[in-house]
Amino acid sequence: MSAESPLPGNPSPGDLSPDDPVHRNEVVLAGRLATQPARRTLPTGDTLAEWRVVVRRPEGGASRCRVDALECVTFDPEVIATVAGWRSGDTVELHGALRRRFWKSPHGTISRYEIEVGKALHLRPAPPPRTPPRRGRPEDVPEDGPPASERPPTTERPPNAEPPPPPQPGAPTSEPVTTGVPGSIDPAG
């Protein structure tokens, strides 16, 4: 072991052989596409595509998180063309490596970990969007509701209904008429 090793017990970069089978950086993900792939060109002229995949965690883990949202990127023109037609919600499988990418920003150097994808497979399209049931109504009620004979009586008028005609003088009403004495009702009313 070289004295240049940055941490005790870790080999220095000069001690590593490119053929050493112990060192591997392989990632395989299968999950749901959370964001549609976006293609962009970097200031260096390199073209890339970026997207996010959501992968469910196994049940029973110590963490309360149930999914991982993982950032993915590719610089490979063939993979960029493959992912161009993908949509949010599609189920996909990705093969690549974990990378830490650095870049300059107005606030200094920034880095993030992401999966650099070398192979991308589309497993199945997103399911069609579900129409949520109307609030307060069972799902099996037709859009226009039950027949009028089965609807509960209502005192509300539809917004486009004409107002009721004013009562005729001397016509009986369904509302009690008070005589002005508290607690009394005029029987003639």
More confident residue, 181 or 61: 61
More confident residue, 14 or 101: 101
Tell me the two tokens of residue 14: 């000069």
The band of 63, judged by pLDDT with boundaries at 50, 70 and 90, is confident
Tell me the two tokens of residue 80: 């960029």
Place of tokens 């509960």: 152
DSSP 185: B
pTM of the model: 0.57
Predicted confidence (pLDDT) at residue 30 exceeds the cutoff of 90: yes
pLDDT of residue 170: 65
Tell me the two tokens of residue 173: 């009403």
What is the average pLDDT across 113-139?
83
Are 83 and 51 spatial neighbours (Cβ–Cβ below 8 Å)? yes
In percent, the amount of the chain with pLDDT more than 90 equals 44
What is the average pLDDT across 158-186?
60
Overall fold of domain 25-124: OB fold (Dihydrolipoamide Acetyltransferase, E2P) (2.40.50)
DSSP 82: H
Q: What is the rounded CA–CA span in Å between residue 67 and residue 29?
A: 12
